[in-house]
Amino acid sequence: MKTKFFLITLLIASLSFAQATKNVEESLIKVNFINPGIEYEWGFAKNQTFDVSAALQFGARGGSDRGFDWALIPAFNASYKYFYNLNRRKEKGKRIRGNSGNFIALNNTTFLNETIIGNLNVTGGYFGQLGPVYGIQRTYSKGFNFSLKMGFGYYYDDFYEGEFGPILGFSIGWVLGKSK
């Protein structure tokens, strides 16, 4: 019984300490200008965030057996991000405010069937991609923010079987409010 009590106390203490020493922001709200939209990033662990956004995103499909199609389409994105270099950045005196660091993530973007601008012919209800990405994110002192991510994932929709392809994402925007 004493051992269980000790282990539970140790677990609670370590979780409390981990929350007190987070390297990531508690929350960030960003307005993006490329892929115009709004984004919310929630820091839930020392170096981990959950990021959601709604935006008009650039989407493209193409290949050697068909032409290149593109469009600006309403999209919803959700990512789990693990920032792996924040401790090293702090040790070197580099900025980590605004979750400035390199990350690996599991990324999912779902596009709706409404083409706003472009020649991508969307006939189903949705399509999207899911896969791992590597990325960098930087936030500067006045709130300017950019993010770049790339990876390889599975493309899906509601009217064909799916395929694998590259995942690319780029955003430029502004962090609203103050970061820690």
Q: Are strands 163-176 and 126-139 parallel, antiparallel or unpaired?
A: unpaired
Radius of gyration over every alpha carbon of the chain, rounded to an integer in angstroms: 19
Q: How confident is the model at residue 115 (pLDDT cuts 50, 70, 90)?
A: confident
Taking the model in full, what pTM does it have?
Answer: 0.79
The per-residue pLDDT for 53 is 96
Q: What is the pLDDT of residues 58-86, one digit of tens each?
A: 877 776 677 888 888 899 999 999 999 99
Give strand ranges (E) for 46-142: 48-63, 66-83, 101-112, 117-118, 126-139
Of 25, 77, 82, the C-alpha closest to 52 is: 77
Amino acid, res. 145: N
What is the per-residue pLDDT for 10?
A: 52
Q: What percent of the chain has pLDDT over 90?
A: 60
Query: What's the CA gap between 56 and 36, in Å, rounded?
Result: 6
Residue 40 neighbours by CB under 8 Å, 6+ apart: 27, 28, 29, 30, 51, 52, 53
Above 90 in pLDDT, residue 148?
Answer: yes
